Every structure is written in C-alpha cells, then in structure tokens.
Structure 1
Amino acid sequence: MVEQPSVPEDRLADWRRADDLTDTPFAAPGLTVTARILLYEDDRLRAAVRERTGVDRSWRFFLATRLELAPSPPVTGALRGLVASRASRGFADRLEDQGFEAVERSDRRSLRVGDDDARLFGYDARCRVDGVTLSVDGWLAVWAPDRTFRLAGGAYPIAVVDGDGETADALADCLDPSAFRAELFELIRGVG
C-alpha cells in the first residue's frame, strides 16, 4: 500500500476530504506506478453559493498525490520529464471528469516547494451551471522530494463569463480568484 502524501491539515479546516484512493495508472513488465490520491473540496464556498443561489455543487478542489514506482529507479531528469508530462495529461482528464469543459494547458513554469523546484502546469477551463458559464483556473505541481513523486494541484472559478440574473450575480459575489490562487499555492507548498 502506498503511503499517503502529507497535507497541511491545519489549512484544510474548511475543506472536506472527498476521496482517498489508491490507483495504478501504469503497469508494464518491469515497472508499476501506484498513486495514492487525496481529494478535498471547499465546503465553505459550496455552502455560501448554495445559500445565495440554491445551486449545490463543488466549486473548488485540491488534490495531493504520492506516486511510487516499483522497482524504484533513480530520479533522473528524463524520468522527471516523463512523469510530469503524463501527470499533466492526467490532470487535464481529471478536470474534465469534474465537469469542466474546454480544458487547455495555458502555462508551464517552476514553483519552489520546500527544497525542490516543481514543474508547475496551468490550465484554463470553463464550467457551465444553471445557465451561467464560469471561467476556471487549474494548477498542477509535480516534484520528487525523495525517491517518490508528489503531485498537488486544484482548480477554482475566477469569473462569470456568460449568463445574467440572480445566480450569475450571486456567483460573481462569491468569487475571489486571487485569494483562491494564493490558498491553492500554499496548500501545494504544504504537501510532503
């Protein structure tokens, strides 16, 4: 069984752990990749939007993953690149599974996480709910602080881009994209 990644529990007080699963995203003769994934949803934002609009759904999520490769090869630049590339594609698929549309990778850069430089991928997406379309930002960081890889990221709405009326106005009032981004990056940096 893969050990779970450590997460900054104190920063997740208003979040609910929605899932804790172990998956094997890749297996071939001579190499098996096993992932332990923790998924959290922001219950505070969910309650605020539900109270104002009646719409009940998850608006923001955060995930932390620990990958183990067996047998455990040395972590080389090529291996980092391969894992980051596959993780990036897998995260785009996860966004689509969460109901986001028009998912596109929009950014790639480094992010300091502890003593490591993580590869950070940014995504743009859309989310349609009750006749309102929201613009969404997603981020995924990939790094290897030891002989196992960590993936951490999430997504959050940044603006109402289509739709009007009470639901659109209430949703717009609940969005704070700069605070959402800052909190997500703090959570990412807290994963070990």
Structure 2
Amino acid sequence: MGPPSLPRTHLDGWRRVAETVERPFDAGPVSVEAHTVRYERDGPPPRPFVFASRLRIRPETAPNAALTRLVERRAKSGFRDRLAERDVDPIEHRGDREIAIDDPDASRATLSTFRGQCVDRDGADEPGGGDRSGPVPVEALLAVLTADGYLLAGGAYSLDDDAYQDGRDASGARRDLLRLIRGVTPGDSEA
C-alpha cells in the first residue's frame, strides 16, 4: 500500500518533497499507519504545500460514523501539530463543511479550515537576530474522506498576495489547493 494519488494534471509547479510511512497510533492490537506524499511550491517561507495520506487501520475496520469522528478529530490535531512545525502559530480552527470529491467512489469530504500566522525564522539564531520578516497570514485546509479506507488531503498557502509572482494571488492558491484536494484518489501513482 502506498500513499493516495493527487491529479498529475494539477501538479504543474509543485515539487514532490517527501513520501513517508508513519505510525501515529499504536496501542496493543490496534494501530494506524499513515502513508503520505507531500509536495511544495518553490519560494520564500511560508511555502505552499499539499499532501495526501492513506490510513491503514489494524485490525481492519470498515469506516463507520464513530470511527470517522475519531479519525477526523485525530487528523485535525495532527494537522495542527504539522502546521506548528512549519512555524504557523497561533492556529485557529475556522470551521468545517462538506465538499464533493471528484472520485465517484469516494464519500463527501469533511473540509476543515484553519488560519494562523507564519513567522520566517531564517536567521533568527544568528547574532543580531538575523533578517527576520514579519508574520505572514496563512490559511490551511484539511479534508477527511473515505475511498477504499480513510484518506486525508490538505495543505496551506499564504494569504499575503505579495508572496506570489506571475499574476498569482491567494485566491488562486486556494483554488489550486482545493482542486488537488478534490482530485485525491486511493490509487498508488499520480493519475
């Protein structure tokens, strides 16, 4: 089992930076393994990123309402931790809504929206404090859905239009991220 796929047709300008397998939960006979792929765009921090994860739950359990609520709660908590690792803080949960996914075999996804501030810490440890820039507003999206098990997809982008070049802006970055999230499939390679 590998990570889910993101639509290749929408990955222009994105660079694949990581593919990982982690075990975010392991308690006796119950475990969760997350197979994740992550992409980033080049540019100054905060760099836009997108990821997709497929969860393997042992023992195998079919998706159900209680398990879905648990997966959503744990996914939100883990996503907040990942944003904090990327120097996004404080992080505010702005709400949830359902969205349709392009895969006809997938459930509707619960999309959670977060906002925060990213501080570029490059050079912060150098004498004199380095060349620290001011906080940059960031929006992050996380979707949880079922399609041959549980899939997670999400990412973040700057809300500061000055962070973009070539006629791009924050609203375009949001559209690009949502297009990638809606295009996630459980397949093992980019479609």
Name the TM-score, length of structure 2 as normaliser: 0.83
- Supply the distance in 2 between the matched residues of 1:181 and 1:38 (Cα, whole angstroms): 19
Partner residue in 1 for 2:151:
150
Partner residue in 1 for 2:179:
186
Task: Tell me the alpha carbon deviations over residues 111-144 of structure 1, each in whole angstroms, 9 at most, x when there is no partner.
Answer: 1113421111100110123322211100000011
Alignment of 1:1-192 (within 5 A): 2-43=1-42, 46=43, 56-113=44-101, 114-115=103-104, 116-129=107-120, 130-146=132-148, 148-159=149-160, 171=163, 176-192=169-185
- Supply the distance in 2 between the matched residues of 1:34 and 1:40 (Cα, whole angstroms): 20
| Contact kept in structure 2, 1:156 and 1:180, CA below 8 Å | yes
The DSSP-based 3-state class of the residue aligned with 2:111 is strand
Q: Number of residue pairs matched?
A: 170
Q: Tell me how far 1:57 sits from its aligned partner.
A: 3.9
The amino acid of 2:134's aligned partner reads V
- In 2 relative to 1, CA 4–131 (structure 1 residues): closer, same or farther, beyond 3 Å? closer
The amino acid of 1:177's aligned partner reads A
Q: Tell me how far 1:74 sits from its aligned partner.
A: 1.8
Unaligned runs of 5+ in 2: 121-131, 186-191
The DSSP-based 3-state class of the residue aligned with 1:132 is coil
Task: Tell me the alpha carbon deviations over residues 86-118 of structure 1, each in whole angstroms, 9 at most, x when there is no partner.
Answer: 001100110011111111111111111134211
Runs of 4+ in 1 over 4 A off after TM superposition: 172-175
Per residue, is there more helix in 1 or in 2? 1
- Supply the distance in 2 between the matched residues of 1:172 and 1:28 (Cα, whole angstroms): 44
- In 2 relative to 1, CA 188–172 (structure 1 residues): closer, same or farther, beyond 3 Å? closer
Unaligned runs of 5+ in 1: 47-55, 161-169
The amino acid of 1:18's aligned partner reads V
Q: Tell me how far 1:171 sits from its aligned partner.
A: 3.5
| Contact kept in structure 1, 2:46 and 2:118, CA below 8 Å | no
Aligned-pair RMSD on alpha carbons? 1.7
Greater RCO, 1 or 2 (C-alpha within 8 Å, sep 6+): 2
The DSSP-based 3-state class of the residue aligned with 1:131 is coil
- Supply the distance in 1 between the matched residues of 2:135 and 2:9 (Cα, whole angstroms): 32
The amino acid of 1:134's aligned partner reads V
The DSSP-based 3-state class of the residue aligned with 1:59 is coil
| Contact kept in structure 2, 1:15 and 1:40, CA below 8 Å | yes
Per residue, is there more strand in 1 or in 2? 1
